[in-house]
Structure formats: structure tokens, C-alpha cells
Amino acid sequence: MNNLAFHRLSYGIYVLTTQLDGKPFGCIINTAFQITSAPPRIAVSCNKDNYTHDKISNAKMFALSVLTEESSQDLIGTFGYNSGRDIDKFKSYEFTQGDKLSLPLFTDESIATFECKLVESLEVGTHTIFIGEVIDCNVLSNSSNEMTYKYFHEVRKAVAPKNAPTYIEVEKNRDLYECSLCKYVYDEDVPFDELPDDWVCPVCGATKDLFEKT
Ligand SMILES: Cc1cc2nc3c(=O)[nH]c(=O)nc-3n(C[C@H](O)[C@H](O)[C@H](O)COP(=O)(O)O)c2cc1C
């Protein structure tokens, strides 16, 4: 079995958000897809350990901001490799509130947005598939390409963390170095030791000294 076959499935990259008791919550996901058009419904797969998971269960609504190839790596680093349990993810980013459900949306970073009411939750082992009825959706730009999972891997040179359903253990055939901030694992052709001193983490911008041998 070659697990890299899973990388041949296509996805986008999204910020999944919700709001509970007036506070915003959110994380990066790649597993979102449309299920039906009438009524319009989409599904997302969210790890039960994610802080965002229980917030969506309780708020009974969620939103998606569809990221583009220009979306900041810093935003993906903050929302995809850190937990809202530990930091205020929204502090450094501008976001708007949706017209219908007032959910947090990253309109400056996105090509489209969706606001959904939760209609069903399917427990699937480590993850819950949240199914939402789309209450509102908008196209924000026609000039950018949506960021695909492939682009995230091949151009941004980043890997999804363990909580992503698509996570694949990296085969360790030489020393790997992990960013202590965002958990990005450096596994490129140029040996880590030979990278210039001013090289920074492609995901979160951490300096070289913040990397540790795994
Ligand atoms: C590219 C990428 C894709 C991800 N996809 C998913 C996903 O589909 N589902 C999921 O539950 N977590 C996914 N994650 C992991 C969560 O974003 C991550 O665990 C986050 O820290 C959870 O934050 P929270 O605890 O504040 O909810 C992904 C992360 C990245 C960087």
C-alpha cells in the first residue's frame, strides 16, 4: 500500500470558523466538499481534538473562507498549526462578519465564503463530519486561483499536521528538522545544515534556530 496515493485526491484549503458567546473560533481544513445542491449543503471533516470542533457542535453553525494562492502563509500557520486553546488566533488578523449568521470570514484573504447552519453531525472515529446547509455564499474575486492542497504541498512546500485527516507520516530516511512553532517538517533536497543563516520557515517565518531535529 502506497500512502502517497492519498495525495492524489484533490482538495482546497479553507479557514473553518464559528462563533460562540460572541467569540470567534477557527482552524485550517482541507476537507470540505459540496454534498447536495437542493438544498445546498456542504460537509467538513473536523478532528475531535480541535478546539474548533466543540465550538461548532455548540454553536450549530460554521463558515468557510476559501483561501487563494496569494493567501498569507502566516494565516495558515496561525490557524493550522496552533490551537485556540493556547493563543488568540484572531488577534492579528482582520476579519469581517457574515451578512446572515454573523460568522467570522476572512474576506481579504479569500476567493469565496460560505455561511452554514449545522444540520447533521456524523461521528467517524477521530473526526466528525459536520454537514451544513448553506445560508449564504459569495464570490469575492475572479482574479485569483483558489489554493489547492497540491499547491500547498508543492509550491508552499508545507505539510498538514496530525489532526488533518489527510496527514501522512513522513518516512524518516535522514535527519528531519521540525519547526518548533508551526511543526512544519523540513524535508527538501538541500540538507538543513547547508541552508543560509537567514533562511526562514516557509510556513510561519520562524528563523532557522527555532528548528529542532526530530
Ligand atoms: C493544510 C492543513 C489542512 C488541515 N486540514 C484539516 C482538516 O481537514 N480537518 C481537521 O480537523 N484539521 C485539519 N488541519 C489541522 C487543524 O487546522 C489544526 O489541528 C489546528 O491547530 C486546530 O486548531 P484549533 O484547536 O484552534 O481548532 C489542517 C491543517 C493544515 C495546515
Cβ atoms of 12 and 32 closer than 8 Å: yes
Residue to mutate (ligand 1; options 15, 18, 30, 179; most atoms within 8 A of CB): 30
Per-residue pLDDT of the chain (214 residues; tens, 9 = 90+): 887 788 789 999 999 999 999 999 999 999 999 999 999 999 999 999 999 999 999 999 999 999 999 999 889 989 998 899 999 999 989 999 999 999 999 999 999 999 999 999 999 999 999 999 999 999 998 788 999 988 887 777 676 777 777 776 654 556 889 888 877 888 777 888 888 888 988 877 888 999 998 8
Burial profile 36-68: b = 16 or more Cβ within 10 angstroms, e = fewer:
eeeeebbbbbbbeebebbbbbbebebbbbbbbb
pLDDT at residue 118 in the model? 98
Task: Please check whether residue 161 lies inside any domain of the structure.
Answer: no
Which of 168, 54, 92, 27 shows the shortest CA–CA distance to 187?
Answer: 168
CA distances for 143 relative to 13, 69, 92, 112, 204, angstroms = 17, 11, 26, 12, 26
Task: Please check whether residue 157 lies inside any domain of the structure.
Answer: no
Pair (145, 174) in one structural domain = no
> Is 205's C-beta closer than 6 angstroms to any atom of ligand 1?
no
Pair (136, 185) in one structural domain = no
What is the CA(29)–ligand 1 centre distance, in A?
Answer: 5
Residue nearest to atom 31 of ligand 1 (CA): 80
Residue type, 162: K
**Could you give the ipTM of this predicted complex?**
0.99
Residues 6+ apart with CB under 8 A from 33: 42, 43
Task: Please check whether residue 34 lies inside any domain of the structure.
Answer: yes
pLDDT at residue 169 in the model? 61
pLDDT at residue 171 in the model? 47
What CATH number does the domain containing 111 carry?
2.30.110.10
pLDDT at residue 105 in the model? 98
Cβ atoms of 128 and 118 closer than 8 Å: no
Task: Please check whether residue 159 lies inside any domain of the structure.
Answer: no
The count of domains in the chain is: 2
Write down which residue in 122, 151, 180 finishes a domain.
151
